[in-house]
Chains A and B, each alone.
Chain A
Amino acid sequence: MDGLNLIGVAGFASAWMLLWATAAAIPIVLHLLNRRRQQTISWAAMRLLLQVIEKQSKRVRFEQLLLLLLRTLILLTLGIALGRPYFTPQTLGETLAAQRPPRLWILVLDNSYSMGYRDEQGTRFAAAQSRALDMVRTSVRGDAFCLVTLSSPAEPIINRPTFDSDYVTTAIQKVNLLDGGGDLNSVLTQINEIITGAGRNLDSPTDIHVVFLSDFGQDTWQEALGSGRSQRPLKQLAAAHTLVYEPIFGPSNMVLPNIAMMAMTTMATRALKDRPLDVEVTVTNFGEAEARQVPLQLGANGQTVTSQFIDLPAGATRVVHLNLQPSAAGLMSISASLPDDRLVADNQRQTVIEVRSEFKVLCVENPYSDARILKAALQPPVAMQSAMQVTSTTQLELGSFELNEFDAVVLNDVKSFSESEFKKLTQFVNAGRSLVCLLGQNSDPSIWNTQLVNAKNPLGFLLGEPSEFSDWRIDPLDYASPIAAPFASHPDAGLLTTPIFRFWKIKLAENTAERPQIELQLQDGAPLIVINRWGKGRVASMLSAPQTGAMRGAAEPWNAMATWPSFLPLMQQLVQATLSDNATQLNVRVGEPISGTQRATSEKTRINIVRPDGKEIELQASEIDEYGLRSWSYAASTKRGIYQTFVEGGVPRPYAVNINPVQSDLRSVSIEQLPKSTEKTPSPVTASLDSGSSNPSSAVARWLLGTLAIMLVAESCLAWALGRRLA
């Protein structure tokens, strides 16, 4: 058998059938026995005999040896064919490595952005690719391969076992390094699906080896440790099959130098033209050495606007504020960048904000309420440089307004509204605009709730009953809300002491997909300001409409908010908070879809997207939806950077795609902690080899049987020719 290996046979599916190969000794034994069974004769015609022997001996002996060799080979080939050999390694090294049955290799290639870490030899991803190619190259014939990427989500490149190593090689070479993270759970799901599929394929080897070619970054692989959600499926996989961890890094506890930009935010995602915009950049030094004078650049629409040198102690995180002043209205892409280091993916971030000259707000006032105070709050005197252009109207005139001209609609203590008004407002919100509902003592809960119950509920709650009259105090909820945040450093603004005497109790709706966010509440825990996402827009509800506190008839005022210093900033922040969300769809993370809408009136339904890597994609917008919009979505946002979208003939609309910087901490988990496979007895391959026309061992056996048939014919012809001559 070793000898056979040396000539290229790696193993046998039915090794015990090789015993038949010993029959090859029969012709040799017979030959030797025949030689030993010698008789002695005194011969008279010796001179003649000697002449014959001299003339015939060499040729006859050669022919006889040829015949003997042929017969021996026939039996040997028959034995080997019955043993059903597989694989013919090309080198001795491969031969030595091939002492095993065929395997199904499931290669898991990590192409998350941390694999882009570059050292003197190149990137980790290139090393992983090279390692994978080596495995394919040194595999033996009969080995099958599948290929999955360790990305988020995992992508099965080859999900059916293939024996074509060229195809696998090409597939590995085509895998690109992405800017996303890795989702181990998704990978394990894909692996299990592949294994299940391979189990149904009789040609597939049953000895399955799953090879993880990864840097085993903490972010991804922490899931496989302790109580991580991937720990159990990984253990089950290790118990059933063989797991091979191929770490593409140095020692796991090594801290690698890396400076990463963790976040970049603007204080308002809708900036105002010619107004300073504060950009907050968070930078972390993950290395063990202090980084000095690191240049941090800020750019707008591709041009550098400002820069700053920062010092970063080892392991420290710094928040840097940079300012820029947009000079034109429209969408603006802002980028912050650090110099390239060994991991370039986390050295730059982008964001897209909308620069507006002003925001248009429509205030729908209740004439029986304190109508003017709201406009005064939202659009103070010119000296205060308000960003809002407020238009006041009454509910009766609401139908005459084209709502699309406004960024936000504020319903101030409106008693009720009709079904058509409700539909118009929900379409308005769904298109990405803002609705602010100030619910006061004039609001009729029975009518509001009727509309909210009958239709989808944009508010996210149902009105209950008014609270008892009391002096309620506001709980700022740690100023976490963007509405309350400005008050954190200005206690004199009087947020906490804002006089509120009565408010609407609410019951949060149960049928909404996402529970509304409580932005501010009162001291007893009752919500005061609630923001609910609705379509692409937001609906903010304040459960006590602002009043001056003046008595109107017999009714007691619900609050005296309008007389308080907190009133103006509170109203401004309330409207701003709903507006701010409109730009979030322009900023997504790698892997999240980019989406947009366009008005149904447009007949242009093709969307072109230019990716950061220069590739151009064409999309088709959907049919007109119930809100009269066409929508489109592009899910393959696999690269970080600015994606420019074009509607035919329209102005480009940028989308910023940023990495999730969790992988910037390049520490790895120790593979010793990962579930290990127990040593498995090689699975009997006979079950899978018994059938299947494409099975390599069957092919080899068939080839051998074909050779056997040829040798049998050759032996018959040679024996016949020799027999004729000897006769």
Chain B
Amino acid sequence: MESQKCCERESYRVNPSQKYFDPETLARIRPLGLRARTLVEGVLGGLHRSPLRGHSIEFAQHREYVPGDDLRQVDWKVYARSDRYYLKQYEDETNLIAYLLLDTSESMQYRGANSPLTKLEYAQLIVFSLAYLVITQQDSVALATFSSELDGWLPPSGSASYLDDIIRMMESAPSGQRTDLPKIVELAAQRCGKPGVIVLVSDLLDDQERLLTALKRLRYQRHDVIVVHVLDESELTFPFDRSTRFEGLEGLPEVVADPLLIGGAYRKAMAAFCTEIEVGCQHLGVDYHRMKTNESLAATLPPLLARRLAQRG
């Protein structure tokens, strides 16, 4: 497995433009498709359902009539049977815009000893895979790269050639900056005018309370938010066994510590951190997925998509 990952990594380096098209990964994602959990208003009808109810071929549900409703929507057949007024509601499929937010801060450069990819590389794979799926489903995708600022922005587009732009932008994105996730989420909220699916791919190593507050605003703007929490295996398991000098990324100070002494506490703290974010996301109705960089995307992406389909019902 290790050698396989190493080979995969080597192949990416040989041909960067092809590394996002891992045939195995994409072959396992494609039949499942990417679906937004909630309906978004879009221009294109298709695979995704719109939150707006209208005249459509697909019946959604009945609703009791209240004064002021359009009488044209009253289901008279039901009135005839039950002597009560009900309105017929239909589902309408709309175009989907997927806003992909990629964290390119310095902390995303971390790669553990047992991981083939840095967190950033792994996140780029996720972002590209999702972009590919969205575009192949005739939907639009937008991309934003960020660290402490919103470093790059590709407006929504559904063109297949747009994937090249995405690749170029991800590769040219500057790194080594501090993360300011709440600020970025705020900026993204301003840019993403029409409600869509916002996918935040980051290690989320920031103040979680401010982050959740920002996510709350996105939800308030009726965006469907997916948080993909990318972590290295080492960051979860803290597998060090001797005295270590930890050099802080993103301008944080270095510290010498005995991992054997603080490992347990760290693991507990990391678990608490992840749980807090996950629970916060659940409360906000945000879809939360944690992925480890040593896990194959072929194993992590399909469950994400499957779960979304299940939630959609």
A binds B: yes
Instruction: Give the contacting residue for A34; candidates B119, B242, B250, B265; CB below 8 A.
Output: B242
Asked if B90 is an interface residue, CB under 8 A from chain A, the answer is: no
Q: List the B side residues contacting A44 at CB < 8 Å.
A: 106-110, 119, 203, 205, 232, 235, 249-250
Asked if A60 is an interface residue, CB under 8 A from chain B, the answer is: yes
Asked whether A42 and B265 contact (CB < 8 A) given A48-B205, A50-B255, the answer is no
- Digitize B272-304: 1 where CB-to-A-CB distance is under 8 Å, 0 elsewhere: 010000000000000000000000000000000
- Digitize B77-113: 1 where CB-to-A-CB distance is under 8 Å, 0 elsewhere: 0000000000000000000000000000011111000
Instruction: Give the contacting residue for B255; candidates A36, A37, A53; CB below 8 A.
Output: A53
Give the residues from 350 to 370 in chain A that come closer than 8 angstroms, CB to CB, to chain B: none
User: Closest CB-CB distance, B181 to chain A, in whole Å?
Assistant: 12
Distance, CA A566 to CA B248, complexed state (A): 137
User: Closest CB-CB distance, A107 to chain B, in whole Å?
Assistant: 60
Asked whether A45 and B247 contact (CB < 8 A) given A34-B242, A50-B252, A56-B261, the answer is no
Asked if B256 is an interface residue, CB under 8 A from chain A, the answer is: yes
Asked if A382 is an interface residue, CB under 8 A from chain B, the answer is: no
Instruction: Give the contacting residue for A42; candidates B240, B247, B266, B269; CB below 8 A.
Output: B247
Asked if B260 is an interface residue, CB under 8 A from chain A, the answer is: yes
Q: List the A side residues contacting B256 at CB < 8 Å.
A: 38
- Digitize B253-266: 1 where CB-to-A-CB distance is under 8 Å, 0 elsewhere: 10111101111111
User: Closest CB-CB distance, B279 to chain A, in whole Å?
Assistant: 17
**Secondary structure call for the B interface:** mixed
Q: List the B side residues contacting A46 at CB < 8 Å.
A: 246, 248-250, 252-253, 255
Q: List the B side residues contacting A39 at CB < 8 Å.
A: 240, 242-245
Distance, CA A45 to CA B252, complexed state (A): 10
Asked if B26 is an interface residue, CB under 8 A from chain A, the answer is: no
Asked whether A49 and B244 contact (CB < 8 A) given A43-B249, A44-B232, A726-B261, the answer is no
Asked if A554 is an interface residue, CB under 8 A from chain B, the answer is: no
Instruction: Give the contacting residue for B264; candidates A53, A61, A725; CB below 8 A.
Output: A725
Q: List the A side residues contacting B242 at CB < 8 Å.
A: 34, 37-39
Q: List the B side residues contacting A57 at CB < 8 Å.
A: 257, 262
Distance, CA A240 to CA B249, complexed state (A): 81
In the complex, are the beta carbons of B260 and A726 less than 8 A apart? yes
Asked whether A60 and B110 contact (CB < 8 A) given A37-B243, A45-B205, the answer is no
In the complex, are the beta carbons of B260 and A41 less than 8 A apart? no
User: Closest CB-CB distance, B149 to chain A, in whole Å?
Assistant: 19
Asked if A200 is an interface residue, CB under 8 A from chain B, the answer is: no
Distance, CA A21 to CA B122, complexed state (A): 55
Instruction: Give the contacting residue for A48; candidates B110, B245, B273; CB below 8 A.
Output: B273
In the complex, are the beta carbons of B248 and A43 less than 8 A apart? yes
Asked if A55 is an interface residue, CB under 8 A from chain B, the answer is: yes
Q: List the B side residues contacting A49 at CB < 8 Å.
A: 246, 255, 257, 262, 266
User: Closest CB-CB distance, B308 to chain A, in whole Å?
Assistant: 28
In the complex, are the beta carbons of A38 and B261 less than 8 A apart? no
Distance, CA A63 to CA B273, complexed state (A): 26
Asked if A47 is an interface residue, CB under 8 A from chain B, the answer is: yes
Distance, CA A689 to CA B242, complexed state (A): 47
Q: List the B side residues contacting A725 at CB < 8 Å.
A: 264
In the complex, are the beta carbons of B244 and A51 less than 8 A apart? no
Asked if B270 is an interface residue, CB under 8 A from chain A, the answer is: yes
- Digitize A28-40: 1 where CB-to-B-CB distance is under 8 Å, 0 elsewhere: 0000001111111
Q: List the B side residues contacting A470 at CB < 8 Å.
A: none
Asked if A64 is an interface residue, CB under 8 A from chain B, the answer is: yes
Distance, CA A56 to CA B258, complexed state (A): 11
In the complex, are the beta carbons of B269 and A48 less than 8 A apart? yes
Distance, CA A43 to CA B245, complexed state (A): 9
Q: List the A side residues contacting B107 at CB < 8 Å.
A: 44-45
Q: List the B side residues contacting A34 at CB < 8 Å.
A: 242-243, 258
Asked if A727 is an interface residue, CB under 8 A from chain B, the answer is: yes
Instruction: Give the contacting residue for B269; candidates A35, A37, A43, A51; CB below 8 A.
Output: A51
User: Closest CB-CB distance, B242 to chain A, in whole Å?
Assistant: 5
Asked if A52 is an interface residue, CB under 8 A from chain B, the answer is: yes
Distance, CA A45 to CA B273, complexed state (A): 11
In the complex, are the beta carbons of B247 and A43 less than 8 A apart? yes
In the complex, are the beta carbons of A47 and B243 less than 8 A apart? no
Instruction: Give the contacting residue for B252; candidates A35, A47, A55; CB below 8 A.
Output: A47
Distance, CA A60 to CA B110, complexed state (A): 28
Asked whether A41 and B244 contact (CB < 8 A) given A48-B273, A52-B269, the answer is yes
In the complex, are the beta carbons of A43 and B246 less than 8 A apart? yes
User: Closest CB-CB distance, A670 to chain B, in whole Å?
Assistant: 73
Which range contains the number of B residues in contact with the other chain?
A: 35 or more
User: Closest CB-CB distance, A58 to chain B, in whole Å?
Assistant: 11
User: Closest CB-CB distance, A13 to chain B, in whole Å?
Assistant: 40
User: Closest CB-CB distance, B145 to chain A, in whole Å?
Assistant: 18
Instruction: Give the contacting residue for B246; candidates A37, A41, A61, A727; CB below 8 A.
Output: A41
User: Closest CB-CB distance, A36 to chain B, in whole Å?
Assistant: 8
Output the nearest chain B residue to A63 by Cβ-Cβ distance. Answer: B261
User: Closest CB-CB distance, A721 to chain B, in whole Å?
Assistant: 12
- Digitize B199-219: 1 where CB-to-A-CB distance is under 8 Å, 0 elsewhere: 000010100000000000000
Output the nearest chain A residue to B272 by Cβ-Cβ distance. Answer: A48
In the complex, are the beta carbons of B265 and A55 less than 8 A apart? yes
In the complex, are the beta carbons of B110 and A43 less than 8 A apart? yes
Q: List the A side residues contacting B232 at CB < 8 Å.
A: 44
User: Closest CB-CB distance, A688 to chain B, in whole Å?
Assistant: 49
Asked whether A42 and B261 contact (CB < 8 A) given A35-B243, A48-B273, the answer is no
Q: List the A side residues contacting B270 at CB < 8 Å.
A: 45, 48
Q: List the A side residues contacting B269 at CB < 8 Å.
A: 48, 51-52
Give the residues from 53 to 84 in chain B that come closer than 8 angstroms, CB to CB, to chain A: none
In the complex, are the beta carbons of A45 and B262 less than 8 A apart? no
Distance, CA A37 to CA B243, complexed state (A): 7
Output the nearest chain B residue to A722 by Cβ-Cβ distance. Answer: B261
Instruction: Give the contacting residue for A47; candidates B109, B205, B257, B265; CB below 8 A.
Output: B205
Q: List the B side residues contacting A48 at CB < 8 Å.
A: 205, 266, 269-270, 273
- Digitize A235-267: 1 where CB-to-B-CB distance is under 8 Å, 0 elsewhere: 000000000000000000000000000000000
Asked whether A52 and B249 contact (CB < 8 A) given A38-B244, A43-B110, the answer is no
Distance, CA A55 to CA B262, complexed state (A): 10
Distance, CA A594 to CA B235, complexed state (A): 104
Q: List the A side residues contacting B106 at CB < 8 Å.
A: 44
Distance, CA A34 to CA B257, complexed state (A): 11
Output the nearest chain B residue to A37 by Cβ-Cβ distance. Answer: B242
Give the residues from 692 to 727 in chain A that come closer than 8 angstroms, CB to CB, to chain B: 725-727
User: Closest CB-CB distance, A613 to chain B, in whole Å?
Assistant: 78
Distance, CA A52 to CA B269, complexed state (A): 7
Output the nearest chain A residue to B261 by Cβ-Cβ distance. Answer: A60
Distance, CA A64 to CA B261, complexed state (A): 8
Q: List the B side residues contacting A38 at CB < 8 Å.
A: 242-245, 256
Distance, CA A35 to CA B244, complexed state (A): 9
Q: Which of A36, A40, A47, A57 has the most CB of B within 10 A?
A: A47
Q: List the A side residues contacting B247 at CB < 8 Å.
A: 40-43
Q: List the B side residues contacting A51 at CB < 8 Å.
A: 269
User: Closest CB-CB distance, B180 to chain A, in whole Å?
Assistant: 13
Distance, CA A39 to CA B110, complexed state (A): 16
Output the nearest chain B residue to A50 by Cβ-Cβ distance. Answer: B255
User: Closest CB-CB distance, B267 to chain A, in whole Å?
Assistant: 9
User: Closest CB-CB distance, A719 to chain B, in whole Å?
Assistant: 12
Q: List the A side residues contacting B253 at CB < 8 Å.
A: 46, 50
Asked whether A726 and B264 contact (CB < 8 A) given A44-B203, A44-B232, A49-B255, the answer is yes
> 8 smallest A-B Cβ distances: which pairs?
A46-B248, A44-B110, A44-B107, A726-B264, A46-B252, A43-B246, A40-B245, A56-B265
Q: Which residues of B contact A (CB under 8 A)?
A: 106-110, 119, 203, 205, 232, 235, 240, 242-250, 252-253, 255-258, 260-266, 269-270, 273
- Pick 14 A–B contacts, CB within 8 A, sort by A: A37-B243, A39-B243, A41-B245, A45-B203, A45-B205, A46-B246, A48-B270, A48-B273, A49-B266, A52-B269, A53-B257, A60-B262, A726-B264, A726-B265
- Could you list 15 further interchain pairs (A-B, Cβ under 8 angstroms) beyond the known A39-B240, A52-B265? A34-B243, A38-B256, A39-B242, A39-B244, A40-B245, A43-B247, A45-B203, A48-B270, A52-B269, A53-B257, A53-B262, A725-B264, A726-B260, A726-B261, A726-B264
